[in-house]
Amino acid sequence: MNVPNIKHLDSGNFFLIAGPCAVESEENVFEIACTIKEITDRLQIPYIFKASYRKANRSRLDSFTGIGDEKALNIIKSVKDKLRLPVLTDVHTAEECALAAQYVDVLQIPAFLCRQTDLLVAAANTGKIVNIKKGQFLSADAMKFAVNKVKESGNSNVWLTERGTTFGYQDLVVDFRAIPIMREYAPTVLDITHSLQQPNQSSGVTGGKPELIETIAKAGIAVGADGIFIETHPDPANAKSDGANMLRLDLLEDLLVKLIRVRKAI
């Protein structure tokens, strides 16, 4: 399946969306982005840098939410301009879409908000690519309605992302049938690291199973995911958001090499 409207993404390989969960500092962002760019350039994997400029969905009031919207967005745009990379960030309300669209190439709709019509329409109206994460509470087939909201608003540049399905109160599972189903409606990405979250912990801090990242990633490529999504950090234990399920940055290259082999095999 062709991937729309970002130059060089239709390479015949899977594409990669990767970066830190949130913008922590300019130094941290550029360390991660430069490292991934060097790896993906060498491996010929199309790359989109990802970072959230604000974290709106946190369990506790004292959780890290960001360094300031415009400051974080300017850092993301610096990655775009200085490294010549397409960039992606999340939006949470209709009002945020026009602001974020001034800085990024892809607007991402969080999974819990994938049915919010006003948010989907506002994102569509920016003309940017809209990446909709599948709600943990929805079937893959139900995502056609979210895609239709974007397309019927005049924007055909839409992707879907699988990120696990709620399994009990504190776990997620990936139903790999979702990927070929959703590919009928739009290019489909597998969010590997969020699929391994263990939400709703009694501590108020989300857990995770990063030791299964390679397993989930290989399976996603094997069933035909167009792209993969990985949150990564040089020191996940000290990341300010989602550290429990992140991939350590120095492990990324080895994983990508293995995934290329899987892609070639199928």
pLDDT, one tens digit per residue, over 127-154 is 999 999 999 999 999 999 999 999 999 9
* Residue 207 predicted with pLDDT over 60: no
**Averaged pLDDT of the chain:** 90
For residue 19, which of 213, 207, 191, 229 has the smallest C-alpha distance?
229
**Comparison of pLDDT for 66 and 48, the residue scoring more:** 48
| Whether pLDDT at 202 is above 50 | no
Which of 72-86, 150-164, 205-219 shows the lowest per-residue confidence on average (mean pLDDT)?
A: 205-219
Q: What is the mean pLDDT of residues 158-169?
A: 93
Instruction: Assess whether pLDDT exceeds 50 at residue 70.
Output: yes
Helix H or strand E encompassing 118: helix 117-125
| pLDDT (0 to 100) of residue 206 | 54
What is the total count of domains within the chain?
Answer: 1
4 within domain boundaries: no
Between 150 and 170, residue with greater pLDDT: 150
Strands (E), 183-224: 188-191, 197-198, 207-208
Residue 256 lies in a domain: yes
Query: What pLDDT score does 7 carry?
Result: 53
> What confidence score (pLDDT) does residue 13 get?
86
Residue 102 resides in a domain: yes
What is the pLDDT at residue 35? 98
* Amino acid 195: pLDDT: 87
Share of the chain above pLDDT 90, in %: 76
Task: Give the per-residue pLDDT at 6.
Answer: 63
Question: Considering the entire predicted model, what is its pTM?
Answer: 0.92
Minimal CA–CA distance to 25: which of 212, 265, 264, 238?
Answer: 238
- Specify whether the CB–CB gap between 229 and 15 falls below 8 A: no
Worst-scoring range by mean pLDDT, 18-27, 59-68, 216-225?
59-68
Is 73 inside a domain boundary? Answer: yes
Kindly tell me if the per-residue pLDDT of 208 is higher than 70. no
- Res. 9: pLDDT tops 70: no
Query: Is 10 within the bounds of a domain?
Result: no
Any domain includes 8? no
Structure tokens at 65: 């939410």
Q: Which secondary-structure segment (H or E) carries 63?
A: none
CB-based contact 172:197 (threshold 8 Å): yes
Q: Is residue 3, in this structure, part of any structural domain at all?
A: no
- Do the domain assignments include residue 160? yes
pLDDT grade, residue 170 (50/70/90)?
confident
Residue 82: what pLDDT? 97
* Residue 256: DSSP 8-state: H
Give pLDDT, residue 211: 86
CATH number at residue 144: 3.20.20.70
Residue 2: predicted pLDDT: 43
Residue 261 pLDDT > 90: yes
Could you read off the pLDDT of 72-106 as tens digits, one per residue?
999 999 999 999 999 999 999 999 999 999 999 99
The boundaries of the domain holding residue 250 are 15-265
